[in-house]
Structure 1
Amino acid sequence: MDVEEVDPVSGRKTTGHEWNGIKELDTPVPRGVLMFLVVTHLFALLWWILMPTWPIGTTYTKGVLGTDQWDRVEEEMAQSQAARAKWTNAIETKSFDEIMADENLMQFVRSSGRQLFGDNCAACHGADAKGAANYPNLTDDDWLWGGEPENIAETLRVGINSPHGESRVAQMPAFGRDQMLERPQVRQVAQYVYSLSHPEASTPENVEALQAGREVFLTNCAACHGEDAKGSRDVGAPNLTDDYWIYGGDIQTLVTSIHGGRQGHMPTWDERLSESEIKTLALYVNDLGVEKP
């Protein structure tokens, strides 16, 4: 028969378990802990009865209270849309000029447009809309297809080089890769284009090379960019005489663009955003480039 051992300090019996000289006391679980466990189990049981809980095949138990978070979310969304209806209806029915002349509506545009832009456009154009490598800055006044709200709204609606049937289409041919130009010609036209926005690059030493580049430009590039190289918004051809660039305006990047071509892409939003949301975004983007007093 085992002899029960009593701890000389606490006076409690031990369980007989020992680890590294430490003996376990036969101490009961505190009453407070037991009460806590009982209460939590009773609460869990009550919750299972009152609230939607257990999955049953393709459905679940609805609970005595019949609470449905999905219904609550839909109700809150309906309330939110009802609160915004006054503004969205005005956006839908008024012209761009009328909206821009209404400061109260423009306050709504700036608030709502900022959220729409962050949710749909910031991933490419940046939260500040100033673009990044290969994505245009939307805060300046340099536009491929026009910067008026109507132009921006149309670009949002159909996209650029998108699957939309009315998509804006623009492509820079690969003059070097497709052997339309020889390697020296690619370099010459790149130097010429660079000199258009950097007059200091034109020196007596390279005047002949720049003239050769101009001849190449007039033969191969002027059809889209114009003889003055100021571009055309009808075909999405950029102005090459300023210092705004999507892919970069240094000579090496120009060589890369001329050699391999460029084809930007912007998705179409007409199936993802409502008409009022597209108008709001167009007005918001246009407003980014307007100098504030």
Structure 2
Amino acid sequence: MSKKEVETTGHSWDGIEEYNNPLPRWWLIIWYICIIWGIGYSIAMPAWPMIKGATAGVLGWSTRAQVAEKIASFEEMNAGVEAELAAADVTEVMPGSDVYNYAVNMGASVFRANCSQCHGSGAQGNVGYPTLLDNDWLWGGTIDEIAYTVQHGVRNETDDARYSEMPKFGVDELLEPEQINQVVEFVMSLSDPDGDGTNISGHSYDAALASEGAVVFEENCASCHGEDGTGDIYQGAPNLTDAIWLYGGNRDTIHETVTYARFGVMPAWGLRLSQAEVNAAALYVHQLGGGQ
């Protein structure tokens, strides 16, 4: 029995004929259903991009609305403990309590969203931005002092901000260039307990200039940094006798600091965050291990 030949449509191009071989009916039905479904979907759901936004669809469905609904449900669920956190004295929030556990988790999110850009994702700090993992804290490292700093910030334009300002000894010509060189060498010598000409940061200094710089330091710097250079955290004056330097402890950096001064600013987060978020951030930072 010979195989039945498929008829042609009668069309021919350069001797090539077109078979009359239509698509299967089941395939056409599915295709038509998909077309109808696509038209219905584009009418019912957000679909067509416009100049601003997209067509909303007659059902008004929105992924943003779904997210907002979920956020609202979680906020409702946590409303009680969050209100308790907002009203709490942070010094009395006990580790292990429900409020403390909630605060630490909430504070981690607040920190990542608002603080990590300057202090680092692990709170390790950066040049000009202090690490929050050690015990060397300007303005104090107790939980209530941290909470105040988060709430009001440092050297911003609010009335309750932590505030201090180092004079620009070079720019404002408060010291002669030679006096600046002298006091820089003296500052470098402050962290040399052995007096061998090399401080604990590994930087050598000129002992003769340092001796002359002692007088310059006493007359111009000791009122903030203390006669022994150990600083005053409540004035924002750092300890100059250790190896912890916010901007760097080498000769050139210290010279730049004395000449131009430093003026780091931290926002008053109390103006941007809720009280619960401020307390949570303080508790989170404190439990990282730094402070007091």
Q: TM-score range by the shorter chain?
A: 0.7 to 0.9
Q: Which residue in 1 is equivalent to 2:59? A: 65
Q: Superposed, which structure 2 residues align to 1:95-114 within 5 Å?
A: 95-114=89-108
Q: Offset of 1:60 from its aligned partner?
A: 7.9
Once structures 1 and 2 are overlaid, which stretch shifts more, 203-212 or 70-79? 203-212
Q: Offset of 1:58 from its aligned partner?
A: 9.2
Q: Which residue in 1 is equivalent to 2:136? A: 142
Q: Offset of 1:98 from its aligned partner?
A: 2.0
1:240-283 deviations in Å (ceiling 9; x for gaps)? 11211110111221111111211101112122210010011011
Q: Give the alignment's TM-score, normalised by structure 1.
A: 0.80
Give the count of matched residue pairs: 278
Tell me if the contact between 1:15 and 1:26 (Cα under 8 Å) persists in the aligned partners.
Answer: no
- Structure 2 CA distance for partners of 1:187 and 1:75, relative to 1, 3 Å: same
Once structures 1 and 2 are overlaid, which stretch shifts more, 89-98 or 259-268? 89-98
Tell me if the contact between 2:184 and 2:210 (Cα under 8 Å) persists in the aligned partners.
Answer: no
2:184 alignment partner AA:
A
Once structures 1 and 2 are overlaid, which stretch shifts more, 88-97 or 76-85? 88-97
CA distance in 2, matches of 1:24, 1:246: 84
- Structure 2 CA distance for partners of 1:264 and 1:57, relative to 1, 3 Å: closer
Q: Offset of 1:160 from its aligned partner?
A: 1.5
Q: Which residue in 2 is equivalent to 1:260? A: 260
Q: Which residue in 1 is equivalent to 2:234? A: 234
Q: Which residue of 162, 167, 172 maps to 2:161?
A: 167
CA distance in 1, matches of 2:39, 2:70: 29
Q: Offset of 1:141 from its aligned partner?
A: 0.8
Q: Which residue of 153, 157, 160 maps to 2:151?
A: 157
Structure 2: gaps of 5 or more residues: 1-5, 199-204
Q: Offset of 1:79 from its aligned partner?
A: 0.8
- Structure 2 CA distance for partners of 1:217 and 1:46, relative to 1, 3 Å: same
Q: Give the alignment's TM-score, normalised by structure 2.
A: 0.81
Tell me if the contact between 1:130 and 1:139 (Cα under 8 Å) persists in the aligned partners.
Answer: yes
RMSD: 3.4
Tell me if the contact between 1:196 and 1:241 (Cα under 8 Å) persists in the aligned partners.
Answer: yes
CA distance in 2, matches of 1:24, 1:151: 89
Once structures 1 and 2 are overlaid, which stretch shifts more, 196-205 or 153-162? 196-205
Tell me if the contact between 2:103 and 2:284 (Cα under 8 Å) persists in the aligned partners.
Answer: yes
| Identity fraction in percent | 35
2:167 alignment partner AA:
P
1:87 alignment partner AA:
V
- Structure 2 CA distance for partners of 1:125 and 1:12, relative to 1, 3 Å: farther
Higher relative contact order (CA 8 A, sep 6+): 2
Once structures 1 and 2 are overlaid, which stretch shifts more, 208-217 or 45-54? 45-54
- Structure 2 CA distance for partners of 1:27 and 1:227, relative to 1, 3 Å: farther
1:197-238 deviations in Å (ceiling 9; x for gaps)? 233565499544222111111111112112122222222111
Q: Superposed, which structure 2 residues align to 1:35-46 within 5 Å?
A: 37-46=31-40
Once structures 1 and 2 are overlaid, which stretch shifts more, 221-230 or 45-54? 45-54
CA distance in 1, matches of 2:84, 2:58: 44
Q: Which residue in 2 is equivalent to 1:189? A: 183
Tell me if the contact between 1:195 and 1:202 (Cα under 8 Å) persists in the aligned partners.
Answer: no
- Structure 2 CA distance for partners of 1:36 and 1:264, relative to 1, 3 Å: farther
Q: Which residue in 1 is equivalent to 2:288? A: 288
CA distance in 1, matches of 2:267, 2:22: 64
1:248 alignment partner AA:
G
- Structure 2 CA distance for partners of 1:16 and 1:227, relative to 1, 3 Å: farther
2:277 alignment partner AA:
E
Tell me if the contact between 1:189 and 1:216 (Cα under 8 Å) persists in the aligned partners.
Answer: yes
